[in-house]
A and B are shown apart, each in its own frame.
Chain A
Amino acid sequence: MASAAANAVTVEGLSKTYNGTVRAVQNVSFDVRPGEAFGFLGPNGAGKTTTVSMLTGGLAPTAGHAVVDGIDVFRDPHAIKRRIGLVFQESTADSDLTGRENLELAAALFGVPRASTKQRVDSLLERMQIGDAADRLAKTYSGGMRRRLELAVGIIHAPRVLFLDEPTLGLDPQGRAGFWRYVQELRKENGMTVFVTTHYLDEADTICERIAIIDHGHLVAIGTPSELKDRLGGDVVSVRATRTGPEVEAVLRGLPGVVSVTKYDDSYRVKAPRGEELIPTLVEACTRAGVGLAGISLKRPSLDEVFLEFTGREYREDEGMTATDRALRVGQVQQAFGRSRR
């Protein structure tokens, strides 16, 4: 681990136990480099929000140590609040104030100099494309406008570290793409470090330079998206045979180039560097061995696969999202940045 002073965030042995029994976060250690976009992923109840709450001074840990932007969070939780930006997953803007009044209030609370408050507020309103609605009550804003207002409130004092806790939850694909575009622009301009928790693996894949996966309070993997995908050992061929057992597994393991074979429910996950080349051989070998095939599919390495690999279960996004929504969102997020990762 690099020295605490060199990192934007350093976490060592962080643990949180509620009521002496519920172990929400257990001995978590990681660091975030200055200017980095760091993704903190995990399913509901994995410990993401608990970790963010501890790192932002809202929750006392049971054990451990954390330094954010040079401040020991648990020794001086008040000081850390002035140094960081925080965007919550739920809307926290005051509905009975206008967008401008929300920002002016935040500027006063975060100590933005009076002389520069108006300029800062005007600039953020324009930047977030809510300038035309600046003097309307926030309760009249659309979901996307409210999220952009939340982001503006979170960065009113130009923090060096910005925490985003599920910031795009509930937004439509276009709103998500727009939100992340603003975040990326801010990073480029100010070198701001971004710590983001999200349900959406494709967003994390596109935006984050490094990712940590937390499950049941434990950190189970950390690395760049490419590193994590490389750890899968290549493509995954999912095979559903008409029967299961050691002889089927032996057939699959005996195929050339197979890295590993793992059984999940009634399927086998066969890892191989070149999945598309393995499939004809696999079909032929199964036919020869008298193993019937009920289904076969090829999956390229993705964070979904990474998640499955490290947690033993599939990642579940919001259950109401259709496959079309998901495909559309992936396309729009990637289009927003003009790139995609394998």
Chain B
Amino acid sequence: MFDPKRPYRCSPQVALRPEPFGALVYDFTTRRLSFLKTKQLAQVVATLEKHADVDSTLDAVEVAPGQRAAYLHALAGLADAGTIQQREP
């Protein structure tokens, strides 16, 4: 279950490639390609590991208050897909 109060990271088998629209995401294990559709979301995924939890990552990247719910929803989807995963605190 995705929990924004816990520490996460971009999964080790996943590579992010910055693009004008956000980022391309490639999972070397499932060989699936997907997309992060804003640069800010790409920045969130890339910096999850540096922060104590998901909420503080969103603060650090300065996600607008009106956008937070949408970002949490997107991140929950990325957690389901294995793109991001919980890490040890």
- Tell whether A and B belong to one assembly: no
Residues on B lying within 8 angstroms of A by beta carbon are: none
Residues on A lying within 8 angstroms of B by beta carbon are: none
